[in-house]
Amino acid sequence: MTTSLTEHVPPTGRERVWEAGSAPAGRPAWVQVWTEGGWLPVCRYDALETGRGLAVRVVEREVAVFRDDTGRVHALDNVDPLGGDADVSHGRLADRGDRTVVATAPGRHFALDTGECLQAPGTGLRKHRVRVH
């Protein structure tokens, strides 16, 4: 399920950048992904479940956004380069050795820090710059 940007109303005016999870009570923090045109709000931080993904549309591509168990937010392309399906956001975060990976249903593991597919070195997902604002 892809979340459309039109379903969310981004914050207005001059906003302060907060650390993940530290927005003042009653004021939601937004997850933003960098595009050529600047930072684009894609979802509220509190809409992300720890360890699970959320698919969002960023300009012309689908992006999978994840919140890890430390509260940090990560964004990778949502389309699996090996299978062609837009299902990376359905994966779950898991530890594989000393790395955190997105484990997808076809059994592939993509490194959260680089997007690299551990089963097919040299193949991977584009990693996107992301912030909580």
* CATH code of the domain in which 39 resides: 2.102.10.10
pLDDT score, position 92: 96
Residues 1-11 pLDDT 10s? 433 332 333 33
Tell me the pairing of strands 61-67 and 30-35. Answer: unpaired
pLDDT score, position 93: 97
Is 34 a member of any domain?
yes
Total count of domains within the chain: 1
User: Which range among 10-14, 21-25, 84-88, 120-124 shows the weakest confidence by mean pLDDT?
Assistant: 10-14
Is 23 a member of any domain?
no
Specify the pTM.
0.80
pLDDT score, position 126: 97
Is 43 a member of any domain?
yes
pLDDT score, position 28: 77
pLDDT score, position 109: 96
3-state secondary structure of 125: coil
Residues 11-70 pLDDT 10s? 333 333 344 444 556 667 999 999 999 999 999 999 999 999 999 999 999 999 999 999
pLDDT score, position 25: 60
N-to-C CA span, the chain: 24
Contact 102, 109 (CB under 8 A): yes
Is 50 a member of any domain?
yes
Is 80 a member of any domain?
yes
Angle at alpha carbon of residue 105, lines to 31 and 59, rounded to 5°: 35
What is the domain range of residue 112? 2-8+28-132
Instruction: Name the phi and psi angles at 7, rounded to 5.
Output: -80, -10
| Residue 71 CB contacts under 8 Å (≥ 6 apart), including other chains | 19, 20, 21, 50
Is 100 a member of any domain?
yes
Is 114 a member of any domain?
yes
Is 61 a member of any domain?
yes
Angle at alpha carbon of residue 45, lines to 43 and 47, rounded to 5°: 70
